[in-house]
Amino acid sequence: MIKYIIVAFLIFPVCFAECVHEVTLTGKEIKSLDAGMQIYVEIEKRFVPVTEVKLELNKKYNVHVLPPRERDDYNKKYVQYYDYARLNTFLNSYNETFKQNNYEQITIGKSLQQRDLYAVIPKELKANKKTVVMFCRHHGDEGTANWIVEGFVEKVFADKEWLGNFQLILYPMINPDGAEKRTRYNSNGKDLNRCWGGSATDEIVAIRTHLQHLLQNIDDKNVVTVLDMHGSFVDDFIYRVPRFFVDLDFFEMQGQLINQIAVHDIWQKGNFKLSEGSPGMSRIYLIKTYGFNALTHETIRNIPLNKGRSVTTLKKQGEDVYNAIRELYTRK
């Protein structure tokens, strides 16, 4: 009976889950979970497969439960997986476009397995210019998010007016090692969207340090939004903080962007979930540290090919985000 109670709890989590069912369970409860799921247990700030852990029955553990892994013939079942090679191909194809618009693609560090960590930024940041910050792939196995980013970038750099009104700071793949392994975590077993607080480690050191340096040259009030692009289990939605996490004005500000995206995005449709998250999440860290309008954009990460969705529709969702930002903030 306990197995079914726990599984039901995981299906409707009340904790701060984002793209994962995150719960605290005893060793005995963990042993009763469905072995077909991916079960990771946090040991010394790393998430280790439960098969590699000797559980103490009465001890409580922080546990991540993910759906069964989809690896074999992935691209024959689902919308094409977005890997590190595709990112390099896309960025290289835009090198000249970036230069023509006074942007640059730079390497700001290396992953643990020595893959490049990239940023796309203006060659000269303007302190008083409206700024959009975008992250992608904190979690390596959420590939659909990168197709959305491609669609967003394609629209942005085709619109001189947008570039005249806004500046973009983009970190297009934070966890390239996880992307290659098709796992949530980096190669050190870290969840990189739990590392933005004081204990930032591994790849997040390079990302956070670089962003902090850039923000010294920007008026915080001109950062109109921070979007962290992720992939969920079964739904398209956006994570926002609860009504009084900051104040009512902040809550309404977040709702305005969500609603404007919904004007265009037939998949997201204004769906949102309230979450106070964890201090180690990028959006929570940036809200608490800077007061930024930080949101997590979730799109189904494994999309079956027969569901009317494709790389093209995912890129269209990126266009929808672009349109929403242009419409909402150009007039302010």
Q: What pLDDT, in 10s, does the model give residues 76-123?
A: 999 999 999 999 999 999 999 999 999 999 999 999 999 999 999 999
177-196 pLDDT, tens digit per residue, is 999 999 999 999 999 999 99
Rounded to an integer, the average pLDDT of 296-317 is 96
pLDDT exceeds cutoff 50 at 12: no
Classified as helix, coil or strand, 99 is: helix
6 or 315, which is more confident: 315
Average pLDDT over residues 56-65: 95
Domain count, the chain: 2
Helix, strand, or coil (residue 160): helix
Q: Does position 331 have pLDDT exceeding 70, yes or no? A: no
Strand 272-274 relative to strand 223-232, pairing:
unpaired
In the DSSP assignment, the letter for residue 307 is S
Domain span at residue 139 reads 74-329
66, 88, 120 - which closes a domain: 66
Give which of 125, 186, 134 is closest to 156, Cα–Cα: 134
On average, the pLDDT of the chain sits at: 92
**Do 286 and 279 touch, CB atoms closer than 8 A?**
no
| One domain for residues 182 and 93 | yes
- The verdict on 133 and 254 lying in the same domain is yes
Euclidean distance between CA atoms 50 and 47, whole angstroms: 9
Is the pLDDT assigned to residue 301 strictly greater than 80?
yes
> In this structure, what token pair is assigned to residue 248?
């009512």
Residue with more model confidence, 113 or 200: 113
Instruction: Work out the average pLDDT over 295-304.
Output: 96
If asked whether residues 234 and 87 sit together in one domain, one would say yes
Last residue of a domain, one of 39, 66, 93: 66
